[in-house]
Structures are given as C-alpha cells and as structure tokens.
A and B are shown apart, each in its own frame.
Chain A
Amino acid sequence: MSSDLITDHFRQKRTTRSSAKRTEPQSTQQTAKPKSVQLGADKQSSSKSETENDLDVLKQFDLNWEYGPCTGITRLQRWNRASKHDLNPPVAVKELILSHSDDSMYTHCLWNDYEL
C-alpha cells in the first residue's frame, strides 16, 4: 500500500459499480508502471463509453424536473407516471430500462443507495 502512488488509486472511477469490476484486473497490473495501467484504461474506454452514455441518459432523465421527484421509486414507475400525464418522456429511456431490467443501476434512480 505504501509503495503505491495515490494517483493509481485516484484514477479509478468511484461511482459506477461496473468500473469497480474492471479495476480488479487493473489492480493486478499495478505492480507494472503507471503507463501500462493508462493504456489498459484506454483500451476499455470504448466499450465503457456506451454504458456510460446509457447511464448518463438515465441520469438526465432522473434529474429532469418536469417528470416530478425521482427518489424512492423505480425509473420505470416514474416513466409510466410521466407518460400518464402526457409529458412525453423519451421512449429510448424506457427501452434502456426494460433491456436491463435486472441491473439496479438502470432500474433504480440515482440516489438509490441512500436511505430515505
């Protein structure tokens, strides 16, 4: 621990759980120079960006004030409520949620991990 630079740990993204899984193979490479870790990060960034984009779209859906409060309900419930009031939420968001219906990163809101 003491021999590692803090920048090795710091480069890891804290928020997404999927990137936490990816940092495990990265940490095995940490004994090598920091540059190789950076290369490895670049190779995975292309596949990461799609998921990131999706999650960003969902995050923007959460933060949009027109559809009402987002905490405490699933994104699908909020989407259904918004469409019931004719607010025309984007269909792409619904498709994203339904295609990843088993992943709570997609189905639940941004602040899901925080208690009431």
Chain B
Amino acid sequence: MFCSTVSQDAGGLLCEPTERSKTFKRSVSEYTDHSERFKLKDRTFARQYAHMYAERLCVMRPKLIEAAKKKWGQNVRTKKLFELKAEEKVVVVGTLFKHMELQPSILKEISDEHNLMPQPERAKFIDEADELILEDELQRILLVDKLDKRALVTGVVVAVYGMEPDEDRGKFHIEDYCFAELETQVPVPVKEKDRYVALVSGLDIGSKSENMMNLQLLADLLSGQLGDEGQQEAAANIVRVIVAGNSLSQDTRDKNQMKQAKYLTKKTTASSVEAVKSLDDILVQLAASMEVDLMPGEFDPANHTLPQQPLHRCMFPQATMYPTMHCVTNPYDFSIDGVRILGTSGQNVQDIYRFSCLEDHLQMLENTLIWGHIAPTAPDTLGCYPYYDEDPFILPECPHVYFAGSMPSYQSKVFRDSKGQKVLLINVPRFSQTSTCVLVNLRTLECQPVTFDMSFQEDSFEGEK
C-alpha cells in the first residue's frame, strides 16, 4: 500500500549513474496542537486526589445521564445513592472502585501486625474475590450481577440501572449498565493525495537488545535515503514521525546506581547519558528532513507521573537546532490535516493489564475509548498529578486515530461506536523487539506496519517489506 501507488517505471536501483538525480519535496501538512491541557502550569503536590475523582464524576455525570436516557427511556429516574429507596428501579451514576485483595498496598507492607512476607512479583493482581463498588459524591454501594468485575478497573464512571432489594440492603442489583457515548467527531476533510504519519515506539536505546542497524534503516527510509526513486517519492509523503515513548531502555535506569551515594558515583556516568547521545544522533537525522514529535515513556528521563512533561531540549543539542524537532507530552493530542490523533506511550494500557483479566492489549485500548477516559486507573494505581479543577484524561472529542506505544505486538482495528463513528485503534509495537513501525494513511485512515529485517536468508534478501 505504501509503495505500490508509485509509478512502476521509476528508475530502479540497478541503472546507469546519471548526472542529475531526481529530488522529491516532502509534503507539508497543517498541524494543530491540542495537548495544552497536559502541560503542567503549577506543581503543587500538597493536595489530595479526591478533587480529581470529584471532577471526573462532575464532568462525566451529564454525559452518562444522557446516555442512560437514550438507552432506558427519557422517563427513567436518576438518583444519587443517598436518595435510594428499597425496591425502586433507578439509574445511579458513579465511579467504580474495584476492591482487590492482591492490590499492592503500602499500608499492608509496613504494618507490623500482619507479619506478611513481601508480595511476590505478579503480572496481574486480580483475584476471584474482587468486588466492585460504586461511589458517588457521598456514599458507596456494593454492585452485584451483570457487570464483569474481572474486565473492569477502578476509576471508570458508569451508569447502572437496577435496584437495592429490601432483604439485601447495601448491595445494588444491576439489571443493565452503560457508559458515556463518544462525542461527535469532526468530519475529516477529503484529501486528494496520500499523506502518511509514521508511529514508532520502544526504541530502547542503551540496552543490550538495542537494534541500531534497524533504527538506522528506519531513519534512512523516513528521510528518503533508502530505496529507489519510487520508494523515495513514496517516502516524501510521510509528513510526520511520532516517537511514542520508551526511547531509552529500562536498563538505563540502573537501580543500584540510583540508590548509591553521590560520592561513590562521582567518576561514573549514568548509562542514560550515552543512550541519550545515541538517541540525539538518530533524531537529528530525522529532524533534518521532517517533523519529529518525541513523547516521553515509562523509562525515559521525564517525570514518572502522568501526564509526563516534554523531555528537556538540552538533552538533544543537535536535534533541537532544527525547528522541526518537538518534544511533546505524554499523552499527546494533536490534529494533522484535519485528522485528530490521540495517543499515549502505553502506561495506561499496561496498568489496565495489571488490574484486569484482559489479555488483548487492543481490547484494553478499545475499552478506554468506550469508558471515555484515557487512563481510568490514574490516580489509584497509575501515578498522576493531583489536579483539582480538571481531569485532562477525559476524552474531549472523539479522535480519528487512537494509539498506544510500547505494546508487545502490532495490532490495529477500526472501532465503530453506536453513532457509526469510526476510530482507528493502533497498538504500536516495541521497535527493539519487533523492528516494526506503523504508517498511518491520513487520506484513507488505514494503517500498515513496516518491518525492517536484517537477517540474511538463503532464498530471499528481505531488506524491507
């Protein structure tokens, strides 16, 4: 798809040297940044997280009541928990709290009475005995029936239809439930030419498994130095590249070194310094010829809590000489040529993986879209800044493309909601393990993976698929 539209009679690689070689101009696209809400203005951490939950409920409540009325009729009654009467069928809107026994708790860790062994490292913290509790502004109630507690996580705002039976006070028996509907999408303007956005993630520079050769191939492809004239012409249609997190590897975060006293580490340099220099070398090649957006990830030298602030430009002295180099926040929200793209570096999906039974990462990404919230587990199990007057993770507008970086494998799907709106969901795989990047066609809103393979096989030489 990417190269096939180019004319076949373009000069192949095996031809006589010519005096003048063809040059192609890279297409330019209109870009608007919508990530202002993720940039932190003040940094007061002396606040509790109750404000964030109150904000989330307050903003999502009208949306949920509207969705509830659409689903169960205009006459359905919405009540708050303190107004509930027994045996009365009503709709209640609230935030879910999943009570998990195995959830790591600092209180249990330091509690002397329990004499507990430290919990073994787990991939998932779910258990059969988990319970779902609905909380609104004043009260909470246990939820029974219908809701699949294994697939849901804390922090999702939901509207439930059911009743509290007289013989079982304190529990709410659900008959049906619904989530907020996605906002109306702004229609994409029709385009004539193909334009592509490249998504790559998990470069993992600085680890033993880093793949600099494939990374160099990627940089060459994107800057138009790879392939024959046909391929170069096709590469000129790639307007932007987004590096979606984890550009540095986990190995650069050496725990032993970080905990050591400063006087012992005076002569040693952190392994992340070398890694950042290598990253700068790659980025300068990309920035010299196209727009680059660099998002921070879990192991990058940025703040740990979401939303992660842009990496500092002093780390990339060569790349930031070009105005095309942009360091952006995680999550990242922008629109290019009228296509609204929203994405994260994958921490939200990873956290949902830890606290739900779901295995399919694309399903989890789809769920965050259905729930209307990018990272519902923040601030419970995912570190988050204590906002008090806004929750920036609530989806403000339905995006056209929604991606998550650092995923184990490439996956993509077109999600259709109840209004028939389409959203392209993309799981961008880790480049260090799969050597795959993703190209999104802005005209047709389809995507394709591009894999770089350096293995020499006997039957065919696979330089690029």
A residues contacting B by CB (< 8 A) are 65-66, 68-69, 71-73, 77, 80-81, 84-85, 116
Contact = CB atoms under 8 A, between A and B. Distances in A.
A116 B48 contact: yes
A106 B232 CA distance: 67
Interface of B: 46-48, 50-51, 54-55, 58-59, 137-138, 388-389
Given A72-B46, A80-B389, A84-B389, 7 more contacts: A68-B51, A68-B54, A69-B48, A69-B54, A72-B47, A85-B59, A116-B46
A71 B50 CA distance: 9
B295 to A, nearest CB: 29
A73 B50 CA distance: 11
A68 B138 CA distance: 10
13 contacts: A65-B138, A68-B58, A69-B54, A71-B48, A73-B47, A77-B388, A77-B389, A80-B389, A84-B389, A85-B58, A85-B59, A116-B46, A116-B48
Contact of A65 (B47, B59, B137): B137
B371 to A, nearest CB: 21
**Top 7 A-B pairs, shortest CB-CB distance:** A72-B47, A68-B54, A69-B50, A81-B389, A73-B388, A85-B58, A69-B51
B55 A72 contact: no
Contacts of B47: 72-73, 116
Contacts of A116: 46-48
A21 B174 CA distance: 58
A84 to B, nearest CB: 7
A72 B51 contact: yes
Nearest to B44: A72
Contacts of A81: 55, 388-389
A34 to B, nearest CB: 44
A68 to B, nearest CB: 4
Given A77-B388, A84-B389, A68 B48 contact: no
A72 B388 CA distance: 9
Contacts of B388: 72-73, 77, 81
Contacts of A77: 388-389
A65 B81 CA distance: 14
B391 to A, nearest CB: 12
B137 A73 contact: no
A87 to B, nearest CB: 8
A112 to B, nearest CB: 11
B58 to A, nearest CB: 5
Nearest to A68: B54
A80 B138 CA distance: 21
Contacts of A80: 389
A71 B46 CA distance: 10
A71 B51 CA distance: 9
A62 to B, nearest CB: 14
B164 to A, nearest CB: 21
B450 to A, nearest CB: 45
Contacts of A65: 137-138
> Which of A65, A69, A71, A81 is most buried by chain B, counting CB atoms within 10 A of its CB?
A69
Nearest to A66: B137
B390 to A, nearest CB: 9
Contacts of B50: 69, 71
Nearest to B386: A72
A66 B57 CA distance: 12
Nearest to B54: A68
Contacts of B46: 72, 116
Contact of B48 (A66, A72, A84, A85): A72
> Which of A66, A72, A73, A84 is most buried by chain B, counting CB atoms within 10 A of its CB?
A72
Given A65-B137, A81-B389, A73 B51 contact: yes
A69 B52 CA distance: 10
Contacts of B55: 68, 81
Nearest to A84: B389
